[in-house]
Amino acid sequence: MRGVLDVCRGAWLALFALALAGCGHPASALPDFSSLVKAVSPAVVNITATSAPTTPEPVAVDDNGPGTPAWARKYLAPEAAAPQASGDDGDPETESEISTGSGFVLWEDGYIITNEHVVDGASEVTARLSDGRQLVAKIVGMDKPSDIALLKVKADGLSPARIAKPGMLKVGQWVLAIGSPFGFDYSVTAGIVSALGRGLATEQYVPFIQTDAAINPGNSGGPLFDMNGEVVGVNSQIYSQTGGFMGVAFAIPIDVAVKVARELRDSGRVRRGWLGVVVQEVTRGLATSFGLDVPRGALISEVTPDGPAAQAGLRAGDVILSYDGYRLNSSRDLPPRVGSSDPGQVVTLELMRDRKPIRVKIQLGELPQATSSTPAARAVPVPRARPAVDLGLDLRSATAHEQSKAGIDGGLAVVGVGHGAARNAGVQAGDLIVSIAGAHPRTPEEFDHFVQRLTPGSTVPVLVERGGGPMFLAVEIPQR
């Protein structure tokens, strides 16, 4: 019996050993980054930015509370060192703010790339190399929309980073970050690519790489490497409720960063394609009203007069489904595509218009470098409330000033919103109704008459002007 037990025990041990051999020890499945770190570290640079002395101002206290979700200032604000006091006796004390960030050597002739917010406002920038050399860096150019800055140093023997080919990065792939979080030089963290093409409301022209590699203040501008030792992104932002890392970080794709850097080097500024439209998300209700099976694409809520889109015949209510062959799943997919295109380039748009698909070719313009406007004073005329019974709206005809401000001919001002379909769709008092289901009523009577002819139970798009911007809302026509 004992012999049988020994045989059985031996068999189980043999099977267990085979299982371990087949699965591998858990530790052996994890990558060893030591050789990679040694190879790529010479390209990484520590950045110190010193701002001009300023008179101290009272510090504002944020009373939102520690639990309030918030994006930290630029999410990867440079780690600030102690202020430097100066000034003669009797004079107000001034301060020079010193902050640190990261960067990497892009080209061997002295060009270094970092984040725009790391060096913005700096009067002096110092780059410290991995061999200990400290070099004065000149700011060649900065681009706020992409958060990229290009620096230049005079030095020999630089080790430029190797740049990854675009389009090769995949979700789930290991990535490595090297930088100076909280001033700790050449700190190494690792993680995986969590998502690609991530759109953020704060940055319209960058399809971010999302990663869970630990990124903190001071990592700004540092490189994100793949397992081949090639830079795939420039660490830029984190999403945080505390100001520190919480598992969600964002990097600028390297092809976007290099394109910006080349233009800053060659011309000192960045030229971007311009379509001349304002777009919004397509909700489930709007998708139904525009004849789409699923919510996707970018809904045009406003077309800039005399812009490229206007010249090509695009209009409010068109839904852009694809841009030059690239399917748009969200309205946030459009700005990065347009911005990365060259001014003058001819692109093909696939649209949904009046529930029918069409294709339009359009020549892009150049995105204006800056826009400014001085809004007119808001007029508050005495309203003449007229009920729109079916939808629960009190309306009046828009004044000439309201029409001029919105850039429309006609329109109805919403004086009040009662219980009903309009409130359910999100219509608010103060909105200016521009159109409903493609019609442009000019009086409350015209509005009521048109609504009564709509099919009960159908969902129709209503274009409103709110806070200086256009917006489509999906209104379901109630049953009678």
Dihedral sign of CA atoms 193, 197, 201, 202 in order: positive
Inter-residue contact 106 to 255 (CB < 8 Å): no
From 117, 301, 318, 394, active-site residue: 117
The two three-digit tokens of residue 61, written as one number: 């206290």
Check if 147 is active-site: yes
Question: CB 237: neighbour CB atoms within 10 A?
Answer: 27
Write a three-state SS string for 221-279.
CCEEECCCCEEEEEEEEECECCCCCCCCEEEEEHHHHHHHHHHHHHHCCCCCEECCEEE
CA angle 408, 413, 415 (to 5 degrees): 170
Strand ranges in 239-388 using DSSP code E only, listed in sequence order: 249-253, 273-274, 277-280, 298-303, 319-323, 326-327, 346-353, 356-363, 365-366, 386-388
Check if 220 is active-site: yes
User: Rounded CA gap, 308 and 452, in Å?
Assistant: 37
The two three-digit tokens of residue 445, written as one number: 């009577």
Strand order in the sheet with 432-436: 386-388, 393-397, 412-417, 432-436, 459-466, 469-476
From 146, 180, 220, 341, active-site residue: 220
Please name the residue that has the structure tokens 């295109």. Answer: 341
Instruction: Report phi then psi at 12, rounded to 5.
Output: -65, -40
From 99, 143, 147, 180, active-site residue: 147
Inter-residue contact 52 to 216 (CB < 8 Å): no
User: Rounded CA gap, 225 and 232, in Å?
Assistant: 6
User: Rounded CA gap, 472 and 425, in Å?
Assistant: 10
Residues designated as active site: 117, 147, 220
